[in-house]
Structure 1
Amino acid sequence: FERIRKEKIYVWNASFDIPFLISRCLKHGIKAKIFTQLKIVDLLKFSREVLRLSSNRLDDVSRFLGIEKNIKTTGRDMQKFYEEFLSGNIGMKEEIINHCRDDLISLSKVYERVKDLVESWEKKQKNCLF
């Protein structure tokens, strides 16, 4: 965390991810204060306010921008995969990891396509940071 303290972190759906990460830190005795010090920019919020598509799911925004995803599973599949993993299906771990990796690649590509707009949007926003 110390290495990224001064960097902006671009995420999709910070209102879910950040509280989840904070609660996991607290559960495992890890200091969560770092999340109040990071500059977190939520590209989902940007998409809702600027792109105004009929759907703002990362998969749909990626598709709209012509970005192909390598994995055909969606975030909606992850709950089922996780439950199967907990029930002993070890193969689901790899499916979950692959989905997360693919989401990170998509997020990076979406950011690259819209970064000039995001930078302008950030300057106008008071609360684009989580």
Structure 2
Amino acid sequence: MTKENSMRNNLPFRFNPHKLRKKDMVWLMTHKCRHGHTYMEHPGCFYVEQPSESPIHERIGFLDIESTNLKASFGYVISWAIKEKGGKLYHACVTPEEICRESSTKLETPVKIDYRILKEFYHTVTQFDKVFVYWGKNRRHDIPYLRHRCLKAGVEFPLYKEVLCIDLYDWARNFLSMHSYRLGAVCQEFGIPAKDHPLTGQIWIKANAGNKRALNFILKHNDEDVICMEPLHAMLEPFARLSKTSI
């Protein structure tokens, strides 16, 4: 493998072609790399050269959810949080009123306690090019759970390649030698603040009953999970090969 090819495998930014705007595509077709080809013809050169005048910037987020059950067929999403890399925190949580409202619905009607926050999730996550999760990719927890609940509630969910997804759990498992690969254990090992609001059974029970303080506690716990994922990502990224896996 040449040095240039090796660099391409570990670059911090690869744009998602499915999220390019018209002006981005025009820029790629009208600006040339050092080989004299357009960046549309040589996207690999764009990744290596990272032209500062480019209007294309990858937006990365760290995603986590809290749910009432490990399987979406028996639960719903209590809260979700997305921390933008180097930016703001986005989140949403169900309310006591939404939980209470469900108590008067017919047995055969779909549960829509999390309908509002699922819609907010879709409109937020589709603003990102790539999200990082922890034990959350397909066949694990967060992404399949969210997709299942969106399908059940009649809410849009990102389509194939619309948002890319990487699981930090795989990085931790591949690059470290831990006694436990729980997010809290890995962060504690490397001095990353995490899990200041640990969840207990009592908090879960009260939240399921619509207790506002318990719901707020869970949302705070959710926020802390995505906040600690950012420095963990920064620590492990130099060892990782970039992935183009879809959400």
Q: TM-score range by the shorter chain?
A: 0.7 to 0.9
| Structure 1 residue 105 corresponds to structure 2 residue 227 | yes
Counterpart contact for 1:10–1:42, Cα < 8 Å: yes
| Structure 1 residue 122 corresponds to structure 2 residue 242 | yes
Change (3 A) 1:55 1:129: farther
Matched length: 119
Change (3 A) 1:46 1:128: farther
Change (3 A) 1:23 1:88: same
Measure, in 2, the Cα distance between the counterparts of 1:25 and 1:81. 25
Counterpart of 1:9 in structure 2 is 131
Q: CA deviation at 1:122?
A: 3.2
SS of alignment partner, residue 214 of structure 2: helix
- Unaligned stretches of 5+ residues in structure 1: none
Counterpart contact for 2:164–2:245, Cα < 8 Å: no
Q: Greater share of strand residues, 1 or 2?
A: 2
Change (3 A) 1:87 1:96: same
Change (3 A) 1:128 1:52: farther
SS of alignment partner, residue 122 of structure 1: coil
TM-score normalized with structure 1 length: 0.78
| Structure 1 residue 86 corresponds to structure 2 residue 208 | yes
Counterpart of 1:30 in structure 2 is 155
> Larger Rg: 1 or 2?
2
Q: CA deviation at 1:67?
A: 0.7
| Structure 1 residue 51 corresponds to structure 2 residue 176 | yes
Change (3 A) 1:20 1:80: farther
Q: Greater share of helix residues, 1 or 2?
A: 1
Q: Which has the higher contact order (CA 8 A, sep 6+)?
A: 1
CA RMSD of aligned residues (A): 2.3
